[in-house]
Copies of this chain bind each other. A is one copy, B any other.
């Protein structure tokens, strides 16, 4: 009986280790791939990787943890952590009895979505609107057919982008549940 218990215990240990290994692999893959994807999104690779790492971290992590895990320099880790904090995708956590800062990711998908939507709007929609309305204004008095066509093209773009901007605000300000309901209607 002693032997059996021992053997079972060993088996359990093995299983646990194998599972831990599998999890580590899956997580590493997620971090690496998410980082690669970041470049497509116009976000830098490291920033996306850190975000992925923290989103799947069971505990808040320090700058050194991140450095070690992703094998990146302190400067790089620091800059991107702060950038993520600025976006609002991660938070600084202070632990009592600890001098170091810990970082923790926002894990709620709806929150993540609204943050990314807000940031994209700021970087992509708003500057576009500014350009369009300026160009529309500058060309508004021109009488030649080309001038009128240009003015109208600017206006059409401006209207559309402005409209997209409003939509984005509306959707972002919804509660998760409501957005889903809305969508169900739209998809149903």
Contacts of A20 in B (CB 8 A): 144
State whether A127 and B37 are in contact (beta carbons under 8 Å apart), knowing that A19-B147, A26-B139, A142-B22 are contacts in the complex.
Answer: yes
Residue in B23, B41, B113, B163 whose CB lies within 8 Å of A147 = B23
| Interface size class, chain A | 35 or more
Taking a contact as CB atoms under 8 Å apart, the answer to whether B42 and A41 are in contact is: yes
Main secondary structure of the interface of A (DSSP, over half): helix
Report the copy number of this chain in the oligomer: 2
Contacts of A164 in B (CB 8 A): 113
User: For residue A166, which residues in chain B have a CB less than 8 angstroms away from its CB?
Assistant: 187
Shortest 10 CB-CB distances between A and B: which pairs? A42-B42, A109-B160, A26-B138, A33-B131, A26-B139, A30-B135, A58-B146, A23-B147, A19-B142, A40-B123
